Amino acid sequence: MKIILFSPVRQEFDTLNLALGSHIGLKGVAERWYYDDNDSADSSDLLARARGRILDPIEAEKPDYDVTGETHAWTGKLVSRIARIRNLAIEEFLKTDADALFIVDSDLILHPSTVEHLAESGADVVSEVFWSKWRPEENWMPNVWDGHPYSFLDAESITRLRERGLYEVAGLGACTLIRREVFEKNVRYTPVSGLANIWGEDRWFSIRAAANDIRFYADTWFPPFHVYRKEQLEEARTWFECGCPFDYFRNTWLTDEWAENIEKNMAPKTAERPSLLMMLPGEMFNVAWVKALVELKDNLAPYFQVATQWGFVSNVYFMRKTMLDAAMTWEKRPDFILWIDDDQVLTVEGLKTLMLDLHKREDLAGVCGWAWCETNIYATAPMLSCGIFDRDGNVRRLEWDIMQNYDSDLIPISYSGFPAVLMRGSVLDAMTGDDFLPIIDAERFPPFGMCGEDTAFFTRANEKGLKFAVDRRVKVPHLKLRCAEPAAATSLEGVPVSKGEQ
């Protein structure tokens, strides 16, 4: 795999000298490119002697860049300039036969294995995580995030990054390996029209890449040392000369006390927490289900104002209608609504995945988990709990093979059987309150000529233009006292089952 390193350089001499020294020892780099944007003649001379290619200058204003204060003073003109410089490198890269471009800031001191390891991850876009204090009194924070412009779902999204691994994120930058295929989709460091509140070239890149269904990953095996302030230089030099030990950051910066501070600072005050209404319909509510519910509520409590609405089955249509009526008459619209049936177990990790889905996809009104289910009246094999309405409006179940071969974990659907559904509270503004009542249509809904309450809801939601998806990673165990998967196998995964088999 041929990889080109590119670094735009506007750096004081000593930091640049150490950074360039770390570049020379990098494994897996075929060429090193730089853009000389220095204010110092000594830094420019050092860069010229670094035996890398210096890209031609762009014609653009060069604003002042102040790094002497508590934090670096970025301006709109500076961000636009760095975006143009990075885009220049991309265009030059596409003229080569190289496979990937590694874009790195000039104040990062790199472990020799960084680039080689990122290439082995197989990800289209992957950043090596490093840590910075944006202001001296603040906590160490990473160069990746869950939501734009720079936010996180919870404290664990940050603290997990001190352990070695590969983690999916929603935005990243400054130490990033990007494969050619990404640039061939015209993804660039260019402002996104209509998103003036989201500022920064790395955020523009992340949004454009996400719009092309490209996923981002954060790698934590070989964290660089970020010399964000000149006072850190000697510490960085010692770290580099000692072989760039991974444990250094874990033992000195990212301690248990640091993790406790992150948890404390991330927990919003009650008045600031978004509200989540848990809708809990059913008739059994057995021990396994109750245990899962308690775990969910315990994990939600620090971050959400949680309320519950129970529903007890006599007639499924009217049970869900009365629950929906209750939600619509709340004094204030909840920010989120979570439906969990009494025979479905949603894990904490499953809920986090669904919440992250909504965080990433503002076009979705809701996301669903999925379960195996079967109904003896149809004499069918177990089937998935979700599907689509075809062009004629008829119900078509999602097939297992189609779900697994889909090019994204999030799959558009028309309906779900409500095993676990996370909706935005704004869904209530579009509905009427009668949305769970049956729809009578003999042609569309054989053999009874009417649909179930779940299909009725989604039919009406589709007519109002609401979009839903299922996340194939969120499988919800089915607790009904009946066979929900074939007796011949513990799971349908990978096992072909014909319609006639039970």
Does residue 198 fall inside a structural domain? yes
Nearest alpha-carbon partner for 7 in 36, 29, 39: 36
Distance of CA 494 to the CA centre of its chain: 27
- For residue range 44-91, what is the model confidence (pLDDT) as tens digits? 999 999 999 999 998 877 777 666 655 555 577 888 899 999 999 999
Inter-residue contact 233 to 18 (CB < 8 Å): yes
Does residue 417 fall inside a structural domain? yes
- For residue range 421-457, what is the model confidence (pLDDT) as tens digits? 999 999 999 988 889 999 898 888 777 888 889 989 9
Nearest alpha-carbon partner for 281 in 429, 461, 421, 484: 421
**Element holding 402 (H helix, E strand):** helix 400-405
Strands (E), 283-381: 305-312, 336-340, 366-370, 372-373
Does residue 493 fall inside a structural domain? no
| Cβ burial, residue 255 (10 Å; 0-12/13-18/19+) | middle
Same domain (yes/no): 231, 311 = no
| Cβ burial, residue 283 (10 Å; 0-12/13-18/19+) | exposed
How many distinct structural domains can be found in the chain? 2
Same domain (yes/no): 238, 337 = no
Residue burial 382-395, b: 16+ Cβ < 10 Å; e: rest: bbbbbbbbeeeeeb
Q: Cα–Cα–Cα angle for 230, 235, 239, nearest 5°?
A: 135
- For residue range 311-334, what is the model confidence (pLDDT) as tens digits? 887 788 888 988 998 888 887 889
Same domain (yes/no): 220, 295 = no
Among the three residues 210, 235, 266, which one is the final residue of a domain in this structure?
266
pLDDT at 268: 65
State yes or no: pLDDT of 489 exceeds 50.
no
Same domain (yes/no): 135, 85 = yes
Does residue 495 fall inside a structural domain? no
Does residue 428 fall inside a structural domain? yes
Among the three residues 237, 266, 295, which one is the final residue of a domain in this structure?
266
Distance of CA 480 to the CA centre of its chain: 32
This prediction's pTM: 0.60
Same domain (yes/no): 280, 202 = no
Same domain (yes/no): 352, 240 = no
State yes or no: pLDDT of 412 exceeds 50.
yes
Same domain (yes/no): 136, 262 = yes
The backbone torsions φ and ψ at residue 371, rounded to the nearest 5 degrees and listed phi first, read: -145, 160
| Cβ burial, residue 36 (10 Å; 0-12/13-18/19+) | middle
Among the three residues 266, 290, 309, which one is the final residue of a domain in this structure?
266
Same domain (yes/no): 325, 344 = yes
Does residue 488 fall inside a structural domain? no
Confidence band, pLDDT 50/70/90 cuts, at residue 235: very high
- Alpha helices by DSSP H, 4-61: 13-24, 41-48
Same domain (yes/no): 314, 327 = yes
CB atoms within 10 A of CB 70: 12
Does residue 500 fall inside a structural domain? no
304-312: average pLDDT: 89
| Cβ burial, residue 16 (10 Å; 0-12/13-18/19+) | buried
Same domain (yes/no): 260, 300 = no
Same domain (yes/no): 194, 301 = no
Does residue 167 fall inside a structural domain? yes
Same domain (yes/no): 311, 390 = yes
Domain that holds residue 14: 3-266
- For residue range 137-196, what is the model confidence (pLDDT) as tens digits? 899 999 999 988 888 988 999 999 999 999 999 999 999 999 999 999 999 999 888 776
Inter-residue contact 428 to 339 (CB < 8 Å): no
CATH value at residue 238: 3.90.550.40
pLDDT at 35: 96
Kindly tell me the sign of the dihedral angle through the C-alpha atoms of 349, 350, 353, 354: negative
Supply the DSSP string of 308-325, one letter for each residue: EEEEE-SSHHHHHHHHHH
Residue burial 261-281, b: 16+ Cβ < 10 Å; e: rest: ebeeebeeeeeebebbbbbbb
- Alpha helices by DSSP H, 106-154: 114-120
What is the average pLDDT value for the chain, to the nearest integer? 88
343-360: average pLDDT: 91
- For residue range 243-287, what is the model confidence (pLDDT) as tens digits? 999 999 999 999 999 999 998 888 765 557 899 999 999 887 888
